[in-house]
């Protein structure tokens, strides 16, 4: 089944202890699409300025089932982000953010995208996320992401959004900020009481929890020997998670658990190189092998104590 994603398409400049990259492809929509397209067809809605190297994006995605017809070209500069990571790769230091044409983004969902059964609302203004939901037709599954900035400045809109989504993905700090509950179990319950049937709490290098009304599932982050560039890990996670669900279309507990693991696997690939480079290199065998490694990482046989 097809996945519609609405998110940013940006140019990133990143410094890590291992190197630097200038003006490489970035943004939540880009990472999500590169990841989800390993599992399902993707329809991307975003905006770029007239300085954006569209041909680079097209050629990166040439072999992937990603429809770029929803990518609006506007007059003005593209969204650019410049960031730096020190040895604690869990936290980015933002050096510059230029929203450019993204600051006037008003997502227009092309007619042919409106019946996508799976929808991912990337981290944009919750008012825009809500406007997307008025344009699509009865999606089977809607997921959204958000961030500290919107939780602080657009709280009522986020609460409105929560009523209309099936799952929200957010990091542990954001879950605590949104719910004013330090304990993540309580934070997840707080959120589920306001709409979503599922809450995915991403903890970066510390893994991810998925809460449902009656179950909790946890997948660690894969213990990589070299994390190269953490940018985009969260959106790559979301792409693997939702892409995997869209692939079979079945929202069973077993599938949801596997989806978290596929999300974690895709996040672990994303951080191995700059930008979406690693996500474009890998294939089904790499993904299956890494999912197998996740299985070995946490599996144990229970024993009855005598």
Measured over the CA atoms of residue 87, residue 88, residue 92 and residue 94, the dihedral's sign is: negative
Residue 168 or 208 with smaller CB distance to a second copy: 208
| Strand 167-171 versus strand 216-219 pairing type | unpaired
Q: Which residues are 4's β-sheet partners? A: 43, 119
CB of 151 within 8 A of CB of 25? no
By the rule CB under 8 A, 291 interacts with a second copy: yes
Q: Tokens for 211, please give them.
A: 């809460």
Residue 7 or 243 with smaller CB distance to a second copy: 243
By the rule CB under 8 A, 251 interacts with a second copy: no
Size of the site for a second copy (CB under 8 A): 44
By the rule CB under 8 A, 302 interacts with a second copy: yes
Q: Which of 75, 88, 96, 137 binds a second copy (CB under 8 A)?
A: 88
Non-local (6+) Cβ contacts of 260 within 8 A are 200, 208, 210, 217, 219, 241
* Least CB distance to a second copy at residue 48 (A): 32
* Stretch of 64-72, 161-169, 266-274, 293-301 lying at the interface with a second copy (CB under 8 A): 293-301
Check residue 277 and report its DSSP letter: H
Q: Segment 215-244, which members bind a second copy (CB under 8 A)?
A: 215-220, 223-227
CB of 199 within 8 A of CB of 168? yes
By the rule CB under 8 A, 279 interacts with a second copy: no
Alpha carbon distance 70, 44 (integer Å) = 6
The residues that touch a second copy, with contacts defined as CB under 8 A, are 87-89, 182-186, 203, 206-207, 209, 215-220, 223-227, 254, 257-258, 260-261, 284, 287-288, 291-292, 295-305
């Amino acid at each position: 089944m097809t996945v519609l994603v609405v998110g940013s398409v940006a140019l990133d400049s990143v410094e890590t202890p291992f190197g630097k990259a200038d003006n490489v492809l970035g943004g939540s929509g880009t990472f999500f699409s590169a990841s989800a397209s390993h599992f399902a067809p993707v329809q991307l809605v975003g905006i770029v300025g007239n300085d954006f190297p569209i041909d680079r994006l097209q050629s990166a995605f040439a072999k992937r089932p990603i429809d770029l017809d929803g990518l609006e070209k506007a007059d003005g500069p593209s969204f650019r982000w410049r960031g730096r990571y020190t040895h604690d790769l869990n936290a980015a230091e933002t050096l510059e953010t230029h929203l450019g044409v993204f600051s006037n983004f008003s997502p227009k969902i092309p007619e042919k995208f409106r019946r996508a059964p799976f929808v991912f609302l990337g981290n944009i203004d919750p008012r825009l996320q809500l406007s997307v939901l008025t344009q699509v037709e009865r999606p089977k599954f809607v997921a959204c992401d958000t961030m500290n900035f919107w939780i602080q400045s657009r709280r009522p809109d986020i609460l409105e959004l929560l009523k209309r989504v099936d799952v929200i993905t957010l990091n542990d700090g954001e879950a605590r900020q949104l719910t004013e509950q330090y304990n993540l179990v309580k934070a997840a319950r707080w959120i589920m009481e306001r709409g979503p049937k599922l809450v995915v709490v991403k903890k970066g290098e510390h893994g991810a929890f998925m809460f449902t009304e009656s179950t909790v599932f946890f997948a660690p982050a894969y213990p990589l020997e070299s994390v190269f560039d953490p940018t985009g890990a969260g959106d790559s996670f979301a792409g693997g998670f939702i892409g995997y669900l869209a692939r079979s279309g079945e929202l069973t507990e077993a599938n949801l658990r596997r989806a978290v693991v596929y999300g974690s696997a895709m996040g672990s690939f994303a951080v191995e190189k700059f930008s979406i480079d690693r996500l474009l290199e890998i294939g089904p065998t790499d993904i299956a092998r890494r999912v197998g490694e996740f299985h070995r990482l946490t599996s144990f046989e229970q024993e009855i104590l005598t």
